[in-house]
A and B are shown apart, each in its own frame.
Chain A
Amino acid sequence: MVDLIARLPGAEIDAHSEGDCVLGLPEPGALTWVSAEPGQEKPVGKALQDALGLGWPRPGRVLSNAQARIAWFGDRQALVMGPALKSLAGAAVVDQSDGWLLMRVEGAGARDMLMRLLPLDLRAASFGPGHVARSLAGHVPVIVLGRRGGAFDLLAPRSMARTTHGDLVRAMKTRLALRALDA
């Protein structure tokens, strides 16, 4: 058997900071996609509750505790972030840890900067801690999770991670340039 060398999704990507906006690359832990069979959200939620202390998330919401996050991921789908999951009765369980790059944007300008790039209403009144949305960053489908203090976690597909990272850095620079014009 060939001995392959593992490469992390963010291997060629660096953290970046621009004015009042910081882009970091935290370690997300394991990412596991869970798809409940039709009508099985309740028992699968119960199994998740027993395993991680968190149940099945409502549409657009993230459940979290000290060890794990469970983000809604679509109809009958959820993404478990943190501890690895092997299997759950009544659901398809797929390890996607290698498939996504987690980028965290924080700082006073994070919200404003992200709204330049995503067609979402990310104002504090509409989107905050415990919220999740799947949408587009430029042309790349991404997952956005709201965090405390006006910070956001962005999951970009590994194959498009460098594009999304570049788009984020450009959005940070463009926002500052526009603000300098206004000043």
Chain B
Amino acid sequence: MRIKCPLCGERDLREFTYRGAALPRPAPDAPDEAWDAYLHLRDNPAGPTRDLWHHRAGCSAWLVVRRDTATHEIFGVELATRSRAVRA
């Protein structure tokens, strides 16, 4: 698998570390149920998914990667700092 980092360009999988689902972080005063879901509850999709990856051995940026777990197709990659996916 190769991921196209928006800063570095297309790079080998070995440069990246997988973190997990890219989810909007609840507000600090959100109810316990929202935090419980954010921390523990995950879908396990056979299809499109949105994950956080760390370009650990590259530019050290956090990325939001949209990909398909069934076909391994990657639809898009963006910097987590610029992504709406991880904002509430």
* Interface: B3 (CB within 8 A): no
The size of the chain B interface, using a CB distance under 8 A, is 15
Within 8 A of B (CB), among A114-129: 119-120
Q: Is the CB of A136 within 8 A of B7?
A: no
Q: Is the CB of B14 within 8 A of A136?
A: yes
B60 CB to closest chain A CB (Å) equals 5
Q: List the 8 closest A-B pairs by CB distance, nearest first.
A: A119-B12, A74-B59, A59-B7, A136-B57, A141-B57, A75-B61, A74-B60, A134-B58
| Given A59-B8, A74-B7, A134-B8, A119 and B15 contact (CB-CB distance below 8 Å) | yes
* Interface: B69 (CB within 8 A): no
* Interface: B79 (CB within 8 A): yes
Q: Is the CB of A135 within 8 A of B15?
A: yes
Report the Cα distance A60→B8, complex, angstroms.
7
Among the interface residues B11, B14, B59, which one has the most CB atoms of the partner chain A within 10 A? Answer: B59
Can you sample 10 A-B contacts with CB below 8 Å? A73-B59, A74-B7, A74-B59, A75-B59, A75-B61, A75-B81, A133-B8, A134-B59, A136-B15, A141-B56
Residue-by-residue, is A67-83 near B (CB-CB < 8 Å gives 1, otherwise 0)? 00000011100000000
| Given A135-B58, A136-B57, A75 and B7 contact (CB-CB distance below 8 Å) | yes
Report the Cα distance A156→B79, complex, angstroms.
26
Q: Is the CB of B9 within 8 A of A60?
A: yes
Residue-by-residue, is A85-125 near B (CB-CB < 8 Å gives 1, otherwise 0)? 00000000000000000000000000000000001100000
Residue-by-residue, is B1-31 near A (CB-CB < 8 Å gives 1, otherwise 0)? 0000001110110110000000000000000
Within 8 A of B (CB), among A19-70: 59-60
